[in-house]
Structures are given as C-alpha cells and as structure tokens.
Amino acid sequence: MIEMKEDQIEFLLSKAIDQVKTNGEIQLVSFTKQVNRIDPLVFFEAAKMLEKNRIFWSSTADDFCVVGVGKAYDIVANKSRYNETEKEWNKLLQEAIIHNPYEVAGTGLLALGGMSFDPKRERSSLWENFQPSRFTIPEFLLTKNNNTTYFTINIQVTKNDHPKQMLRACKQAEKKLFNTFIKIPQGVGIKSKEEKNPEAWKHSVRLAKEKIEKNEAKKIVLARELRLELKNKAEISAIIDKLIKTQATSYIFAFENGNDCFIGATPERLVKLEKNQLLSTCLAGTAPRGNTKEEDTRIGISLLDDEKNREEHDFVVKMIKRAINDYCTDIDIPGKPVIYPLKNLQHLFTPVIAKLKDKYSIFDIVRELHPTPALGGTPTEESLAFIREHEQLDRGWYGAPIGWLDSNQNSEFAVAIRSGLIKGDKASLFAGCGVVKDSDIEAEYEETNIKFLPMLSVLGG
C-alpha cells in the first residue's frame, strides 16, 4: 500500500482548522490517494471493526465499486428534497478543502444515499432508520475504478481539533480497514416465509384494472412484501458476495443505517452523468429465463412480441424522452427494445443517450424521472394517488432513486428494485408489477414471485 503523505494531510487539516476559527462554518477536508488493490468486500467486512455504518455500491459491468465507512457529513432533507440536497451539496463543494490529483469518478468528496419512493406517504416503523432523503459523505472511502484502487479520507474539522491527533486516528482506522486477512462470513438460511396479505394485494390489482378500464389511468404499479425469518442474524457481507456472484449485470448496493440494512441488486439505471454526458435506461417488461438456450431464446422472442409488455415498455420510453426533453440536447433513443438478460429474469431494454444543458444538474433529471412508469404508473399523479390509498405497504426506499455523486462532476442513480430491508434476523423483500388493461391477476401475482427470486436465492430460499 502506498504510504500516506502525513505532512501534506497535516497541512490541510491545519488550514481547515484555521478557517473554522475565522468563519465558524463547517469545514470538510478530503484527501485521496492511490493504493494497492484490495477486495472491496474484504474492506467492507473489515469496517465492522470500526463499528460504523457501511455503504456498498458496485457496477460489475463498469468495473466500478465504492465502499463507504462512517459519516463525515450527512445531507438530510425532508420537504423540498431535491432542492435542499443540491443546495447543501453545492455549498459543501465550494467550502471543502479537496486534495485529489486523480479526479477519477467515485473519488474525492463523494455522497452516497437515496430517498423514499413517495414523500407524501407516512413513514412506517419498518423504515424508521431511513429518512425521506439522506446522502452520506463517508469518513473513509474505497474506490475501485477500471482495475485501479483509491482511498479517500473525509474529515469534518472543528476549531478545537488537533491535526496530529486526527492524523493518528486516521492511520489507526486505515490499518484496520486494510486488514487483508479478513474472511467473508458464510451466508444465512431462511427459517420461515410469510406473504403479507396476498389476497388483499390481488384485490388491489382488481381495483386497479377497474380504474384503468374506466380510462382513469393507463398503468398502475402495485408492490407487495414478503417477510422472512432467518436462521441467524444476517451477515451483510455474505449477502453482497452472493449478489455479486449471481447478479453480475446489476448494481449491487447496501446502505446500513443503525441496525438495519437496505440491500439489493437492481438492473435498472435511472440516470448516469459523466460531466454533461447523460445515459438513462428504459427497463420494463419482464419474463423468466429458460432452462435451456432454446427455451430462453423462445421466451425472449415471445417477450419482444408480447403486446402487454411492449405497451408497458413504451410507457417508460415516452416518459423518459418527455422528462429530459427540456433539459438535454442530442437525445438519441433506439426505435425498438432489445432483451436484457439477468440470472433469473429477462427484460425489455432501451438505452437513452443525451447531452445535459449547462444550467441543469443530476437532481433536475432525477426529479423529472422519478417515479418512472415502471415503478409508479401513468399518468403519474393518478397512479400515485391509487398506490397511496390501496397498496398494502410503505415502500420506503424500495423503488426509489439511490446512488452517488462526486466532486468531479460524475454521478449515477439507479432504481432500488430487487431489494430487501434486513433487520437482524428478519428481512422484508419487495416486488411489484405493472397493472394495465390486459393484466391477468394471477399472472401478475406470479410475476412478483419471480421478482422475489434474486433476493430469496441469496438468503437461502
């Protein structure tokens, strides 16, 4: 591992402390260095020794992974969450002392987090540890980008801090985090399963169909919950390990807050920004994988030809185009979807490429895109009103935007599906489906069962 430049960090810390004494404002110091390769999952597991919250985010297809440990700063917003978060983030960027000679995506000052699906929905006790919007700047950050590894320390200083003491504490923490002898624990098994109100959920699907048949909506997405009792307290590292091995084309994520962890493997990108280059994804329309190559191909062709799924997919394509039209130029959307295969499922997929106009940000796009018709329905307000009245659960962060943004003008958000909330030896899994005029209630129910599979399988079900 490359040695920390102690005198350089000590100088930055002293400078920050002097600034705090002068202006009394919050002062963040961020220092990034390149380090020898370490398995991000080993780093994540080692972080347990620091007894701090952990965050994991990876995109195997992009050879990108970040692991956050602890909290240097939290951006929490309740009402105007997009505006409040952007305002506070921009203020931090202006005032922070950032030493990052690499300026690689995912390094430097970086915030990771998410928000609830519907801020108008009253929060239940299930999601008591997850605010309507929360983005954390980790105290320690490991970034793996294109086979190169970086380590970032983010520190919030006060006027009474001492640089040498702070530096000593950082070195002690770093030594624990880079303990390569750490072993990933074994997975857990499922003791029991309980579907939460399946008949009531089917009734809500029936009511949604009636509303659509009256032309009061075109599509309504309804989610349901599967409660699990595990044989032992869940080992988050073991679950992530299995998700990485079984869901290679998805975003793997885990957000710890207190004793709870929201975790999953979502295939659905909401939006990615590299400077002003925007990439979004239309992912709607679902079918299972086949047992043989021939069966798999046959199911894929059937999905491409299926009127119900193509209509559902087209809702998303049109919405994304409409949502970004005022914010972007050079919008490029293919005319037809292709098949996007996962381990357990296959989806209809259409990429969207565009250029973001100078005066707009990632938050403008996320605000316009969420919720997509794939997670809410269309028209948006009518479908959300129906969901609030008839859905049997508080979605919390399920189905909502989760992601990261850095001080190098890079950011990425995904839609938090194929996920679950772990609470010790208990887990709640979530899955939904889009109800349209031709929906078959039992078929929609079976589709949600298929969508439970990615999380069920890694938990031992």
The residues that are catalytic are 219, 268
Q: Is 307 annotated as a binding residue?
A: no
Alpha helices in 214-306 (DSSP H): 236-246, 293-305
Compute the distance between CA of residue 448 and CA of residue 461 in angstroms, rounded to an integer.
15
Structure tokens at 239: 């679950």
Question: What is the separation of C-alpha 49 from the centre of its chain, rounded to a whole number of angstroms?
Answer: 25
Compute the distance between CA of residue 162 and CA of residue 164 in angstroms, rounded to an integer.
6
Structure tokens at 161: 């801090």
Residue located via tokens 């998805």? 250
Element (H, E) at 412: strand 410-415
- Among 195, 210, 226, smallest CA distance to 441 is for 210
State the CB neighbour count (10 A cutoff) for residue 165.
Answer: 10
DSSP state for residue 461 in the 8-state scheme: -
Structure tokens at 1: 């591992």
> Are residues 127 and 394 in contact, defined by beta-carbon separation less than 8 angstroms?
yes
> Are residues 289 and 302 in contact, defined by beta-carbon separation less than 8 angstroms?
no
Compute the distance between CA of residue 138 and CA of residue 151 in angstroms, rounded to an integer.
11
Compute the distance between CA of residue 439 and CA of residue 222 in angstroms, rounded to an integer.
12
Compute the distance between CA of residue 446 and CA of residue 308 in angstroms, rounded to an integer.
15
Q: State the virtual CA torsion across 427, 428, 429, 431 in degrees, nearest 10.
A: 180
Q: Is 312 annotated as a binding residue?
A: yes
Element (H, E) at 21: helix 6-23
CB-based contacts of 141: which residues, under 8 Å, 6+ apart?
66, 67, 68, 69, 107, 110, 151, 152, 153, 154
Hey, what amino acid is at 277?
Q
> Are residues 314 and 298 in contact, defined by beta-carbon separation less than 8 angstroms?
no
Binding residues: 312, 447
Binding residues for Mg(2+): 312, 447
